[in-house]
Amino acid sequence: MQESENDILKRVRKIEIKTRGLSNEIFAGKYHTAFRGRGMSFSEVREYRPGDDVRDIDWNVTARSRKPHIKTYEEERELTMMLLVDVSGSRMFGTTDRLKKNVITEIAAVLAFSAAQNNDKVGCIFFSDRIEKFIPPKKGRSHILMIIRELIGFVPRSSGTRLSEPIRFLTNVNKKHTTSFILSDFMDAPSDDADLADALKIAGSRHDLVGIRIYDPREQTLPDVGIVEMKDAETGRKVWVDTSSRRVRDHYAAHWQQNAGRIADTLRHHRIDTAEVATDADYVVELIKLFKQR
């Protein structure tokens, strides 16, 4: 059932109250140190001093002056955070008291408010198997609330998933360094593997990419509940499944593990930090783990 405008605004306010305070708990005052590869801008050239990194030597100035000089840099005071949010059909699945969509929305809100509290810009890319919506990076509480409102009420045109699309789009629209979070269940088709690898390789050279995978425990294993009709949320295809069969349950679990491993290997190969969050788990704990390892 479609939520009314008033219902959406109430949920926006509820999520704001819940998530604004969580950012301090997750980052424990070390927000900036969690984002390695934070943008650096050129500051000046000065004479080389013992202990300086030789990789920073400015060879042109050194040749002219006949004394070694190095380039110095300063941290850019402004970070741009991008949220790449999966709005495909599978996000509407959930066998606990929360859908994957709800968890994605809350995590996105925590990250966005963390950026806002540090005076950084936040932008958002909604994707399915296409780019559904692009919200350019801006600062401010009202901008964050608008993003949360869209996360709650957005209706995508497509139900499929193609992870390479938002990553390629990110590279095209953001020429400067960003820290970008991919919030998805990562249920991508094997046919996208090659395009995804190419997109990650290009985007990873410019941006700090972080994967946050949201899944429901029931996606890993089937319960023994007899013959049930199952529907693929992204294709609409329906099948009858005999869950009382151990062979069927084992095949289902093996298929899920194979797909999960395939995506995990791709992310690991491109050195992308990842976290996995179950719909019945405390995402705060998983996010703290993620940022501690960075």
Strands 121-127 and 80-86, by their bridges, are parallel
Q: Give CA–CA dist 101/280, Å, rounded.
A: 13
pLDDT (0 to 100) of residue 233 = 61
CA distances from 230 to 98, 222, 238, 239, 292 (A): 19, 11, 6, 5, 39
Span 5-33+78-292: which CATH code? Answer: 3.40.50.410
pLDDT (0 to 100) of residue 234 = 63
pLDDT (0 to 100) of residue 14 = 84
Could you state, in order of their start, the residue ranges of all structural domains in the chain? Answer: 5-33+78-292, 40-75
> Average pLDDT by consecutive 10-residue portion of the chain (294 residues)?
69 84 80 63 79 86 92 71 94 76 93 90 96 96 94 91 96 92 90 92 92 88 74 71 81 81 91 93 91 81
pLDDT (0 to 100) of residue 74 = 58
81 closest CA partner among 28, 121, 41, 127 = 121
Say what the pTM is.
0.80
pLDDT (0 to 100) of residue 144 = 94
pLDDT (0 to 100) of residue 260 = 82
pLDDT (0 to 100) of residue 26 = 86
Strands 69-75 and 40-47, by their bridges, are antiparallel
282 closest CA partner among 103, 94, 16, 31 = 103
pLDDT (0 to 100) of residue 133 = 97
